[in-house]
Amino acid sequence: MIGCEYCVDLGPQICRHAGLSDDELLALPRYSRSDPFTNREKLALDYAIAVMRTPVEVTDQPIAQMKEHFSDAELAELTAHLMVVNLDRFNTAFGTSSAGFSEGMVCVPPDRPAGQPAPTRIA
């Protein structure tokens, strides 16, 4: 959610390996009004966005809705996956760039503001 180039590049490959189609990946920016996603999947995506915001925007209402559709174990697993995704801050801090996994075909790495150089690798 912070635009880590490596994560934006690798993410679609991981999603494809998990069974998502390119149509589903392309529909993600409009998931709330897209046909490829079930209501349960849309709820999980809403939750993911709320968890990944800074500051976190999870309130009692989304948790109650999630518990109607997900077991405690599923909710814990989803939240743990989101925690791992948040490690993109590590990649961003170290200037890890795209590795060419997706070649911009689905999720295009974000543009840098004009005049902003590529991050320098720390390691």
Determine the pLDDT at residue 105.
58
Determine the pLDDT at residue 43.
94
Domain definitions of the chain by residue range = 5-93
5-93 is classed CATH 3.40.720.10: no
* C-alpha–C-alpha distance, residues 30 and 42, integer Å: 10
* C-alpha–C-alpha distance, residues 44 and 67, integer Å: 11
Determine the pLDDT at residue 123.
46
Long-range contacts of 118-122 (CB under 8 A, 24+ apart): 119/92, 119/94, 119/95, 120/95, 121/94, 121/95, 121/96, 122/93, 122/94, 122/95
First to last CA, the chain: 23
- List of residues 6+ apart from 83 with CB closer than 8 A: none
Dihedral sign, Cα of residue 37, residue 56, residue 79, residue 110 = positive
- Walking along the chain (123 residues) 10 residues at a time, the average pLDDT comes out as 70 86 88 91 92 84 90 95 83 77 58 52 47
